[in-house]
A and B are shown apart, each in its own frame.
Chain A
Amino acid sequence: MDHSVEHAPRELLGSGQVGYVFDLLKANVVRSRRTMAFVLIGFEGEFEAGETEDQICARLVKSVRMTDAVFSAALPGECGLLMPQSGKEEAAAFLRRFSKELRSAGTTEIRAAVLEVQHPGLSFEQSLDLARGGLVEAAASGETVAFVDAGLGRRTETVKVSVLDPDPLFREALSMSIGSLRVPSVELDVRTFGDGLDLLESGWTASWHPHLVILNDVLPKQNGLDVLHALRQMPNEQKFTVLMMTRRNSEEDMIYAYESGTDEYLVKPFNLRLFEAQVKRLLARLWS
């Protein structure tokens, strides 16, 4: 029996399929917290080299990544593109490349509108309308690419934060410090624990929420490295971002902590502003 898999030839998605594909990719946007670029391309001028509009759309299908989907936008002179795990910068870079390719082939000029899809409430139809508005703006301003904002931003997401340190006053200080941070579209739910075992037995780790764990390496009952190993053994371990605090400053200790799965390492005593900057950076990295 032949188990070889052949890639299906990529095709232009029709209006019946694109809504479904859009919803599927949008669900991944929410799950993976990586934006999707919605691109609407408009063709202008004469098709000098004898290429038809359909042929240019077909050329687009060949130029995009395997993960991207090209669709027919129903109106004449338009072609659409869904670029998962991409932002407006990646979309703009692709459009520059594609535009150059068309110019060297001596065919039509393009204009495009780019919209970043981040919010689960944004539908395909709304995206298409917004992008069409963007194309009109681009034509009016003479720009090749217009960036459109859906005005919905990102859906506010709850991020769990666990602070583990045996010193109750320090725990409280860190909790207040984290509580005072303002990160766009992120709501922090902070809890403190005096020991690793308390966290693991609390049931606090059993949810899909992104979870920032700030823990001391030395803890009573179950120490920080044991907790780290336990978290990394969990099936959905990628949701944990771990910041390890320690008094040990040796390279060996750091290497071991990183190899065990810590994301950041802070040597005590540390500056609280440095800590806040690191936490903000870790939270910002949740979305890309």
Chain B
Amino acid sequence: MIGLPVGWVLGGVAFLLGLLLLLTVYLFIARAAEEKRARRASAYLERHAAAWFRHLRGFEPAGNELAPQDRAEVSAVEEVFRSYLNNLAGEGMQNRIREFSNRHLAGFYRKKLKSRNWSDRLNALYRIHDFGIDALAEDCRALARREVSQEERFQLLLIDLAFRPDGFVDRNIRLNGNISEVENKELLFRMPEAVFDEAASRLDELEKDTQYALVDVLGMKQDLARLPFLEKLLGSTDQELRIRALRAVDALGIRTPDGILRRAVDSPVWQERFIAARMIRRLPESEALRYAEKLAGDESWLVREELRGLGPALERRQLEKEAALG
């Protein structure tokens, strides 16, 4: 058994107790500071909520008293902007938020962008994008040149798209591969029409994930004018791209052109036949049965299951054929 002198044990306990006391004092001080900040923010909101309403409605310019004096007041202003942007729309309001943020908040967020703390930087990026602080566009570009996390990369792309849509595809055509598929879709959804068109026209140069996301977004947008583009993609050698393009055509909700349907029904890929079986349901019964006959004995259970609704009609047609043969 290891024998320890009692003095050592007592000393250790006293040290731990002292450490605990220090930690408790720290927590109390931190809590008190946080509460003080919350009180200051709340007092700011109480004093200025009506003035913010009048300013953001465009009834009066922002007075100097609205400029935040410390971190607590900055968080109060952030709260005002978050609330208005979340619930209300209007170009004038967004412009007033941008002007005020450029004038009074840019310095605060510039410091945050240089922080070594990841969450500080990311929060600053969120605010810069949401409030449209284009005075920090150059600082964001400087940050983009550094090694950053995937979340920061996505925010930086959103900021670049919002502040400099011209040439966005050129600058970022390869970078999109560094973000997730969901983020890719969000980015594509937010693109102005001209930027999206450019991305679509340079589909071959995009990363695979971005290509797939773009085709999915085309389906979600349900823009009939994109049908010829999607039809072209159906001839791609990339099976995944073909399946997604076919799914996007299906999402348009129209009667699928015969050429597309014929190719999908005869496809060796079960996913394409499955989508074809879904498309068939939008055809008049006589036409649907023509295609359904081909798919009725499909090796894939999912394809056969998709045709279940046409089952009775198929059986009837079969009986008619047999009767005709004698």
Residues of A at under 8 Å CB distance from B? Answer: 165, 167, 169-170, 172-173, 176-177, 268-273
- Tell me if A169 and B90 are in contact (CB < 8 A): no
* B39 CB to nearest A CB, Å: 16
Instruction: Using A169-B45, A169-B80, A169-B83 as known contacts, say yes or no to A272 and B88 having CB atoms under 8 A apart.
Output: yes
- Tell me if B79 and A271 are in contact (CB < 8 A): no
Residues of B at under 8 Å CB distance from A? Answer: 45, 49-50, 53, 57, 79-80, 83-90
- Tell me if A167 and B87 are in contact (CB < 8 A): yes
Pick the contact of A176 from B53, B80, B87 — CB < 8 Å? B53
List the 7 closest A-B pairs by CB distance, nearest first: A169-B83, A269-B89, A170-B87, A176-B53, A170-B83, A271-B90, A269-B88
Instruction: Using A169-B79, A170-B83 as known contacts, say yes or no to A270 and B49 having CB atoms under 8 A apart.
Output: no
Determine the chain A residues whose CB is within 8 A of the CB of B88 once the complex forms: 170, 173, 268-272
Instruction: Using A169-B45, A169-B80 as known contacts, say yes or no to A269 and B87 having CB atoms under 8 A apart.
Output: yes
Q: Which secondary structure dominates where chain B touches chain A?
A: helix
Instruction: Output the nearest chain B residue to A169 by Cβ-Cβ distance.
Output: B83
Determine the chain A residues whose CB is within 8 A of the CB of B79 once the complex forms: 169
* A186 CB to nearest B CB, Å: 22
* A219 CB to nearest B CB, Å: 14
Interface centre among B45, B80, B86, B87, by most A CB within 10 Å? B87
Task: Beyond A176-B50, A272-B88, list 10 extra A-B contacts (CB 8 Å).
Answer: A167-B83, A169-B79, A170-B86, A170-B88, A172-B49, A173-B83, A176-B53, A268-B88, A270-B88, A271-B89
* Number of A-B residue pairs with CB-CB distance less than 8 Å in the complex they form: 44
- Tell me if A269 and B86 are in contact (CB < 8 A): yes
- Tell me if A173 and B89 are in contact (CB < 8 A): no
How far, in whole Å, are A272 and B94 apart by their CA atoms in the complex? 13
How far, in whole Å, are A269 and B83 apart by their CA atoms in the complex? 10
Determine the chain A residues whose CB is within 8 A of the CB of B53 once the complex forms: 172-173, 176-177
- Tell me if B90 and A268 are in contact (CB < 8 A): no
- Tell me if A268 and B87 are in contact (CB < 8 A): yes
Instruction: Output the nearest chain A residue to B86 by Cβ-Cβ distance.
Output: A269
How far, in whole Å, are A221 and B198 apart by their CA atoms in the complex? 48
Determine the chain A residues whose CB is within 8 A of the CB of B86 once the complex forms: 167, 170, 268-269
How far, in whole Å, are A270 and B87 apart by their CA atoms in the complex? 7
Determine the chain B residues whose CB is within 8 A of the CB of A165 once the complex forms: 87
* B165 CB to nearest A CB, Å: 22
Determine the chain B residues whose CB is within 8 A of the CB of A268 once the complex forms: 86-88
- Tell me if A272 and B90 are in contact (CB < 8 A): yes
